[in-house]
Amino acid sequence: MATVYAPRRSARSTFLPIRGLNYHLHTWGDPALAMPARPPLVLLHGWMDVGASFQFVVDALAAADGFDRWVIAPDWRGFGLTSAPGADTYWFPDYLGDLDALLDAVLGAAGWHGAIDLLGHSMGGNVVMSYAGVRPARVRRLVNLEGFGMPETRAPHAPRRLAQWLDELKAPQALRSYDSLQAVAERLLKNNPLLTPDKAAWLAPHWSRQEADGRWHILGDPAHKRVNPVLYRKDEVLETWKLISAPVLWVEGDLTDITKWWGHRYPRSDFEARLAVVPDLQQARLAPCGHMLHHDQPEALAAQLQRFLV
């Protein structure tokens, strides 16, 4: 077994009732650390990830800044230790609803009425972009880590998408289980060659849990694998992006190749045109770095955040 990563800052695990779900949060620090120049920092993970995944960049940011700040990283519904809704399909607007309610609960209890700094990775990046457009007064600084959105769809795609969804509803969904934590860590390393063994060993028990069968199961609801019957409407999404009033930092890895996900259905030129509608945008690229920026280059990412979150 590899040496396990030793966190610089210890996270506290808490649960809150949010929209009928038992929501799990990792928090570093406490509300007393928040001030207008360093407001609460909320970190939102991507698909098949967990809030604990931000531990490395939280540590690196504390080291770069030389001080601690109040950081909040929830597990999205159906991921990590947050309960699943019991539905057979997940809907994107529910993430916005969860985030809005979560901020009401956490910030309200702390007496914080100012704006926050908001960061999202991948799926979480897509959420924060829409949220910052519809709740612009709530966001002071916005960071999007490779939340590209989705390929554009058109009305003629709808019948086939609906048929695919109906077919998938009939098929049980499952995630692979593992016989040990070491096996989970090895899978993480296989998925991401830039992840170091000590970080994989630390992540493994946060990404999985041993069940009654003795095996380690990934902490994600298999229903997440089903296609969404609602088409991705690019024009509607961009209308929210246009309304973002906070400065936005877009960060990507130099090794990320979106053609591996979508082929030629989503050319880079399309994405650049989308970014162009954001009123106040800065861009950064980390190297060598893939899609999991907060795993691959936490120190380099922290340096970008230190510069931007001022």
Distance of CA 310 to the CA centre of its chain: 22
Residue 50: predicted pLDDT: 98
Residue 66: predicted pLDDT: 83
**What is the token pair recorded at 49?**
């990830």
Residue 231: predicted pLDDT: 96
Low-confidence ranges of the chain (pLDDT < 50): none
Alpha carbon distance 241, 266 (integer Å): 18
Residue 1: predicted pLDDT: 56
DSSP labels for 137-178? GGEEEEEEES--------GGGHHHHHHHHHHHHTS-----EE
H or E element, residue 27: strand 21-28
Q: Closest Cα to residue 58, out of 124, 15, 5, 95?
A: 5
Q: Which tens digit of pLDDT belongs to each residue from 65-103?
A: 888 899 999 999 999 999 999 999 999 999 999 999 999
Distance of CA 18 to the CA centre of its chain: 18
288 preceded by a cis bond (ω within 30 of 0): yes
Q: Which tens digit of pLDDT belongs to each residue from 19-70?
A: 999 999 999 999 999 999 999 999 999 999 999 999 999 999 999 988 889 9
**What is the token pair recorded at 75?**
């597990």
Q: 162 burial class (0-12, 13-18, 19+ CB within 10 angstroms)?
A: middle
In this prediction the pTM is 0.97
